[in-house]
């Protein structure tokens, strides 16, 4: 089963946002919101005149006066803005928050005179990437109205596009570098190519946490307070010990095989491929050992990520204690699983809704996120740069996004300010979860990503599933992994 994590989750966001209804917006304890103006907002380095270099029809020097951003559309010649994505998430962000966007009502939109054409191809079975690849390869010969202007990518395969020659326009060339200073470093690392150019930007930060059932924690550990519960899960040894305690009480510490994978895979010391040879990091093997151990001891339900059975563990008839996940997972995915009455109100009493809390868990990690890239050869670079600025660098717009859509936005000062302002999350039993996100996000490091990550993750999880199920032994599973991955990427060996 293809696990299209991010796409699935983001699409889930759409579906679940219908289920969650008004949604569990972050509840403001006090009406007064400290509006921090100047510092968070604009950049200080007014001195640097960021020169947009000579791209074919690119913008000239952006108007860089002091810290104000102004859109420079003078070099834009296109009348159609083509944006390629795999679901409606970015489209809804732009529609709701980009100033000057009007919805034409037929799926397209308009910004000024430019028609915005959303090309949405779902990401199942690699359809999105295949289509994107074909179109990017034909970019030079495409008609002006058909040229791709912007496209979205996920972390797992970001490098494929970011590292490819002549595909993305760097943020420096669009004049955005200085305005991205407040973004979390890892979000820039994900889309940095081999020469150090940042080739994409994101409005989201996706630090991950471990979300557990409060009532069960009280029963087994005597407390449901996150700080105290964290002491039971602060490293992998304690995690395993707590898992045993939970199992004795009839609860599973995780729902399936792949839940903790990301936590391990992001704390590795070598990338998947070195010089064309596949390298399996020790930490990945740690995950394999731990999961096999957990499976044999009955600490999980043997389910696969995103399956119906995997999700059922969170409901009132489920027996799963905790799930790993980032912000979007909590509000848009997990919340949906917990409700008994899918059409009912998202409130305490509807299934296990509200009976959860989040802790940092044994290690920091991130999960998912969508990055926006500008395509070389675009005839609307100025507009593209402006959209990117507004949604990923403008704190005012980003604050709107946090409030309205419950995203964790890619702006460190803003998120820390909102965390400090004491917003609580009703689904998490009134916890101030933003604090935890802010703490976790700075510990993420991404030095070891490769262009093969997506395939590696999928094939490794798939191959190991047979091992966990008991169908094959470890060596055979590894052999299968190598075979499958070398089929997918014929240039690799092991």
Partner 1 sequence: MEKTKKKSGNSALTARRVFSYIILAILTVLCLFSFYILIVNATRAHSQISKGFSALPGSYALRNFQNLMSDANLPVFRGLLNSLIVAGCSAALSVYFSALTAYAIHCYDFKGKNIAFTFILMIMTVPTQVTALGFINLMDKFHMMDTFWPLIIPSVAAPAVFFFMKQYMDSALPIEIVEAARIDGSNEFGTFNKIVLPIMKPAFAVQAIFTFVTSWNNYFTPALILKKNNLKTLPILIAQLRSADFLKFDMGKVYMMILLSILPVVIVYLCLSKYIIQGVALGSVKG
Partner 2 sequence: MTKKKSCVSYTKWGYVFLLPFFLVYTIFNLIPLVQTFYYSFFENYRSGLTTIGPNFVGFSNFVNIVSKFNLLKFAGNTFIMWVIGFIPQIIISLLLAAWFTDLNLKLKGQRFFKTVIYLPNLIMASAFSMLFFTIFADGGPVNEILMGVGILDTPFRFFSSVGGTRGLVGLMNFLMWFGNTTILLMAGMMGIDPSLFEAAEVDGAKPMQIFRFITMPLLKPILVYVVITSLIGGIQMFDVPQILTAGDGSPNGSTKTLIMFLNEHLFSKNYGMAGALSVILFIITAILSICVYYALTKQND
Q: Using CB under 8 A, list all residues that contact partner 2.
A: 1-2, 125-126, 130, 133, 136-137, 160-161, 163-164, 167, 302, 308-309, 312, 451, 462, 465-466, 469, 471-472, 476, 480, 483-484, 486-491
Q: Which does 4 bind (CB under 5 to 8 A by kind): partner 2, partner 1, none?
A: partner 1
Please say which residue, 161 or 353, places its beta carbon nearer to partner 2: 161
* Range 234-257 burial, b when 16+ CB lie within 10 A, else e: bebeebbebbeebbeeebbbbbbb
Which alpha helices (H) appear in 56-117, and where do they start and end? Answer: 89-97
**Contact positions toward partner 1, by CB under 8 A?**
1-4, 8, 11-12, 15-16, 19, 88, 120-122, 124-125, 127, 130-131, 306-308, 311-312, 336, 340-342
The whole-angstrom separation of Cα 277 and Cα 293 is 29
CB of 452 to partner 2, least distance (A): 9
Please say which residue, 6 or 167, places its beta carbon nearer to partner 2: 167
Q: Which does 282 bind (CB under 5 to 8 A by kind): partner 2, partner 1, none?
A: none
Radius of gyration of the chain (CA): 23
DSSP 314-365: TSTT--B-EEEEEHHIIIIIIHHHH-SSTTS-SSTTSTTTT-EEEE--SS--
The whole-angstrom separation of Cα 248 and Cα 298 is 10
Please say which residue, 115 or 488, places its beta carbon nearer to partner 2: 488
Please say which residue, 160 or 252, places its beta carbon nearer to partner 2: 160
Please say which residue, 46 or 347, places its beta carbon nearer to partner 1: 347
The whole-angstrom separation of Cα 282 and Cα 292 is 15
Q: Which does 466 bind (CB under 5 to 8 A by kind): partner 1, partner 2, none?
A: partner 2
CB of 424 to partner 2, least distance (A): 35
CB of 5 to partner 1, least distance (A): 10
CB of 52 to partner 2, least distance (A): 24
CB of 18 to partner 1, least distance (A): 10
Dihedral over Cα of 9, 10, 11, 17: its sign: positive
Element (H, E) at 263: helix 261-265
CB of 107 to partner 1, least distance (A): 9
Task: Supply 103's token pair.
Answer: 């919805």
| C-alpha separations of 286 from 247, 289, 422, 464 in Å | 21, 5, 37, 12
Q: Which does 8 bind (CB under 5 to 8 A by kind): partner 2, partner 1, none?
A: partner 1
């Amino acid at each position: 089963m293809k696990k299209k994590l991010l796409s699935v989750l983001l699409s889930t966001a759409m579906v679940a946002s219908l289920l969650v209804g008004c949604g569990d917006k972050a509840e403001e304890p006090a009406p007064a919101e400290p509006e921090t103006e100047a510092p968070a907002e604009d950049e200080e380095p007014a001195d640097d005149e960021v020169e947009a270099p000579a791209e074919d029809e690119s913008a000239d020097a952006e108007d860089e006066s002091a810290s104000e951003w102004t859109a420079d559309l003078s070099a834009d010649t296109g009348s159609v803005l083509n944006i390629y994505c795999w679901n409606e998430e970015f489209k809804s962000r732009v529609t709701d928050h980009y100033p000057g966007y009007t919805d034409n009502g037929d799926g397209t939109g308009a910004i000024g005179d430019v028609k915005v054409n959303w090309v949405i191809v779902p990401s199942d079975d690699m359809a999105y990437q295949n289509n994107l690849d074909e179109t990017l390869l034909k970019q030079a010969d495409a008609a002006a109205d058909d040229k791709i202007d912007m496209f979205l990518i996920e972390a797992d395969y970001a490098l494929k596009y970011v590292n490819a020659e002549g595909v993305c326009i760097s943020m420096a060339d669009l004049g955005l570098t200085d305005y991205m200073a407040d973004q979390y470093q890892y979000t820039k690392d994900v889309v940095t190519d081999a020469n150090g150019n940042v080739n994409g930007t994101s409005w989201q930060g996706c630090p991950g946490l471990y979300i557990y059932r409060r009532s069960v924690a009280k029963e087994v550990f005597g407390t449901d307070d996150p700080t105290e519960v964290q002491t039971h899960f602060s490293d992998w040894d304690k995690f395993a010990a707590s898992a045993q305690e939970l199992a004795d009480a009839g609860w599973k510490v995780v729902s399936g095989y792949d839940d903790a994978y990301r936590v391990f895979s992001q704390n590795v010391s070598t990338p998947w491929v070195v010089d064309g040879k596949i390298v399996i990091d020790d930490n990945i093997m740690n995950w394999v050992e731990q999961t096999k151990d957990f499976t044999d001891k009955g600490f999980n339900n043997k389910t696969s990520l995103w399956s119906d059975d995997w999700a059922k563990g969170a409901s009132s008839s489920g027996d799963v204690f905790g799930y790993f996940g980032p912000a979007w997972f909590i509000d848009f995915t997990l919340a949906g699983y917990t409700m008994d009455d899918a059409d009912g109100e998202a409130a305490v009493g509807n299934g296990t809704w509200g009976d959860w809390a989040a802790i940092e868990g044994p290690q920091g990690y991130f999960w998912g996120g969508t990055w926006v890239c500008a395509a070389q050869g675009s005839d609307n670079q100025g507009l593209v740069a402006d959209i990117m600025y507004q949604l990923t660098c403008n704190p005012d717009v980003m604050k709107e996004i946090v409030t309205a859509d419950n995203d964790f936005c890619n702006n460190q000062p803003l998120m820390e300010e909102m965390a400090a302002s004491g917003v609580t999350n009703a689904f998490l039993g009134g916890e101030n979860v933003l604090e935890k996100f802010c703490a976790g996000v700075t510990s993420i490091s991404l030095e070891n990503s490769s262009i093969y990550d997506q395939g590696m993750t999928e094939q490794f999880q798939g191959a190991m599933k047979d091992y966990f199920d008991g169908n094959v032994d470890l060596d055979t599973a590894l052999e299968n992994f190598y075979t499958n991955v070398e089929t997918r990427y014929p240039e690799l060996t092991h």
